[in-house]
Structure 1
Amino acid sequence: MTNAVLDIDTIDVEKIDKEVENELKTTVTIAIQTETLKKAIGKVERSVSKKAVQDIFKFIFIDIQENKLTFRGINSEYLTEATVLQNEAQSNFKITNGNPGSICFPADKLVPIVKRLKAKNSEICIESNVAVIKSGRPEFNLNGIDGSEFPNTPDLEEKEATISIHPDMLRIMYSRTIYACSASETRPLLTGVHHVLSGKQLKCVSTDSHRLAQYTYDLDKEHPDVRVTVPAPIMTEVLKHLSDSEIEVQVHFYSNQVVYEFEDAKIYGRILEGQYPNIESLLFKSDQAGSSVAINAGMFKSLLNNSTVYNSDQPIIIRIKPDLNQLRANTREDEVGAFEEDLSTTNGSGEDVIIAVNVRYLQDALSHYGDQDQVKFIFSPSSPDKPVGMRPFIGMLDNGNEECLELFVPVRTPQIDYNKQVEIEDFKGVAEFEFNPFEEAFKEIQ
């Protein structure tokens, strides 16, 4: 008996490595409802970074299992994960050939391909990191990379709290606060919305140091105290998912992350580090006000829009005589012209007010009120060293929750003499007032 001798020189190591590599690559064919595929891709495509330093951030991850599909998109702020669970009839998707596995495709190619699929059902055949996507007549070939190269979901440290909240309420809270975040990275904490969970109350606060927005909501049960600041881009993405959600959203607060859990999607986002500024000293209640006035939101929004004709960046000067229900707004004269409009207030009390304020800040806040709403503005009392027109003032829904509010910091301008008595001459804001240039002529004819 002779011993066989293995000739090392005859072994093609490179060929063997290639064969092993191909064996490890995903080889699978799935049939899927086109609408199901479009919906899943749509949930993650917004998370894909178009200008990422890391190329993998430009890809969409797809994991294919027997009864579950997982899609992921990621950027430097957050990761979005969408899932499709196989229904009992296996009519939404099923594996028709091959074995489960994962793969990544460039989003800038996969997304437009999926949007162009028109047939009711589609087929995706993946072999050696190349996909053939069919739907009716069209057939697309798309190169991908192995799914193992895509980042995993973030490591979650100790959970601090979980709340359950209706999507409509979360949408209101976020839309009423996110607009006041800072766009400047010089103070990173102000680029997010501060979430304060205390007992049964959730409070959201944002400020860019020139304005502030706050909204509170009473939850149905007690929760541990939590204070975290969530970056505005994460909340913007959450708002887009809320429009498709009908069941309560689970919000999980961790020491380093926040996770939003929807029926068929999750958003993982890092929280901002640091202590949020104490804003309580800026706020005051109606019973502490030196002046207050209520205004029809629709009419005031129209006035603000009119004031931006000449220069939307210049401040608007507002004079208010609360006891007379009179308000006059004007812009300073420039080379083009000037604006002035009077408005009757619904009610008011306290000392007269003259103030200059950024028009865009008022418009941003008023955009969340209905045209029939009554908006109440309250002003802190004047003092010898600081008149009312130089102090922050607050806006809120008249007879609404006083913890749901907006705060504005006035603009200091040489156009205003704060020590001078407020005057509104020839007031034209009476509701019945309508300019009729023919009135005198008609009287003469009669």
Structure 2
Amino acid sequence: MKFDIMRDRLLDGLNNAMRAVSSKTTIPILTGIKLDVTAEGLRLTGSDADVTIQTFIQPEEDGKQIINVEAPGSIVLQARMLHEIVRKLPTNIVEIEVTDNFQTFIRSGKSEFHLIGSDANEYPQLPELSNNEQFSIPSDLLKTVIRETVFAVATSESRPVLTGVHWQTTENELICVATDSHRLARRKVTVDNLPTGQNVVIPGKSLNELNKILDDSSTAVEIALTSQQVLFKTNEVLFFSRLLEGNYPDTSRLIPNEYKTNVTINGKLLLQAIDRASLLAREDRNNVVRFETVGDNSVEISSNSPEIGKVKEQIAVEQAEGEELKISFSAKYMMDALKAIDGQDVMIQFTGAMKPFILRSIHDDAILQLILPVRTY
């Protein structure tokens, strides 16, 4: 195996594949990255057995030669060492040559590194996924869906299925739900040619890594779901993740059908006020902020820490209907929900001081956030 490649493109590919490599793996070969070079280009594969990322670099891009292949072949090289070496090479042309017994030479300018590689045949094979259950979503929309849901997954492993986001497909609608049992985030997306009846839970960690790889463009991301794996496919990247096992709870019954108090308010102003109130709340174990309606035209945000002091602030509301209300909640949960709605005007719908309440964007019914209050009164 022998080829040369532009260093910056090799580094881009390594940066993506490295996201799947874990130093804690019990399978020694998975501490490495697999390189497959043919006349068609270079494939780089990284995996931790749960997530596998494969990136592809073409020989030519925009009429510019990226890779010259003298002899095709495959090798597995220690991932972190390869990444550090390529990052620090002196010129933008890198030559990689593999000789007998997986001896690997990496040359650039007057630098030459010698690494001992591993047999690529020992590297786990990628799963085979059929094409019949595929659908596609624009990359920028998929990033938005992940951002608006994944923050609400559970961080505790006591109920592993809650550490993922539940994806369900109905007639032309993808419904994504995350909950840690104290809050819930739901996002609905209209998708053409959607295979119905899919019901999977994708690990939150996988979606966070995928989000770092996707770009903010309208390029389609192909998605294939099976009972155990999900594949996200772009022009340059294949991203495989295992799915979480277990039945996701029926969250639809948590969402109230009728409300006693409705408040419409500027989401950005509310977020800033809660952020200020949380300066005192942060010192308290529960990080609790209070929310109280004041007549028909304002709400009061307050926080009280016995050792430090208190803060209160009134914000004008665009509309307030129904019963007067005093309620307390986690400042962090409320701020996360408002950030997901992204500074738009929000309608907050309450069913009482001790019952879950809902946040929706007044411009987009596809986003819904639910938060459980905290008992303080």
TM (norm. structure 1) is: 0.79
Paired with 1:34 and 1:303, the residues of 2 have a C-alpha distance of 48
| Structure number having the greater strand percentage | 2
| 2:361 maps to 1:410 | no
| 2:59 maps to 1:86 | yes
Relative to 1, partners in 2 of residues 1:160 and 1:66: Cα closer, same or farther, differing over 3 Å? closer
Match of 2:115 in 1: 142
List gaps (5 residues or longer) in structure 2: none
Match of 1:205 among 174, 177, 190: 177
8 Å CA contact 2:292–2:299 kept in 1: the answer is: yes
Match of 2:279 in 1: 309
SS at match of 2:191: strand
1:245 shift after superposition:
5.5
SS at match of 2:310: coil
Paired with 2:50 and 2:179, the residues of 1 have a C-alpha distance of 20
8 Å CA contact 1:159–1:253 kept in 2: the answer is: no
Match of 1:191 in 2: 163
Count of aligned positions: 372
Match of 1:376 in 2: 347
SS at match of 1:151: coil
Paired with 1:259 and 1:214, the residues of 2 have a C-alpha distance of 22
Match of 2:199 in 1: 227
Amino acid at match of 2:369: E
Q: Deviations over 1:63-110 (max 9, x none)?
A: 1223232111111421111112333978211222xx422111111200
Amino acid at match of 1:379: F
Amino acid at match of 2:289: I
Amino acid at match of 2:288: P
Relative to 1, partners in 2 of residues 1:221 and 1:80: Cα closer, same or farther, differing over 3 Å? same
1:246 shift after superposition:
4.7
| 2:361 maps to 1:390 | no
Match of 1:63 among 36, 56, 62: 36
Match of 1:95 among 69, 76, 87: 69
Amino acid at match of 1:404: I
Paired with 2:80 and 2:8, the residues of 1 have a C-alpha distance of 19
Q: Which moved more, 1:119-128 or 1:231-240?
A: 119-128
Paired with 1:90 and 1:166, the residues of 2 have a C-alpha distance of 27
Match of 2:325 in 1: 353
SS at match of 2:272: helix
Q: Deviations over 1:374-394 (max 9, x none)?
A: 1110012xxxxxxx1000000
1:113 shift after superposition:
0.9
8 Å CA contact 2:341–2:360 kept in 1: the answer is: no
RMSD: 1.9
Amino acid at match of 2:310: A
SS at match of 1:301: helix
Match of 1:298 among 268, 275, 279: 268
Q: For 1:259-270, what aligned pairs fall within 5 Å after superposition?
A: 259-270=231-242
Match of 2:153 among 160, 181, 186: 181
List gaps (5 residues or longer) in structure 1: 1-27, 381-387, 417-446
Paired with 1:110 and 1:118, the residues of 2 have a C-alpha distance of 14
8 Å CA contact 1:197–1:226 kept in 2: the answer is: yes
Relative to 1, partners in 2 of residues 1:52 and 1:245: Cα closer, same or farther, differing over 3 Å? farther
1:33 shift after superposition:
1.6
Q: For 1:145-164, what aligned pairs fall within 5 Å after superposition?
A: 145-156=118-129, 161-164=133-136
TM (norm. structure 2) is: 0.93
Instruction: Give % identity.
Output: 28
SS at match of 2:126: coil
Match of 2:312 among 331, 340, 344: 340
1:341 shift after superposition:
1.4
1:408 shift after superposition:
0.3
Paired with 2:290 and 2:56, the residues of 1 have a C-alpha distance of 53
Q: Which moved more, 1:216-225 or 1:181-190?
A: 216-225
Paired with 1:393 and 1:79, the residues of 2 have a C-alpha distance of 38
| 2:16 maps to 1:53 | no
Paired with 1:309 and 1:274, the residues of 2 have a C-alpha distance of 39
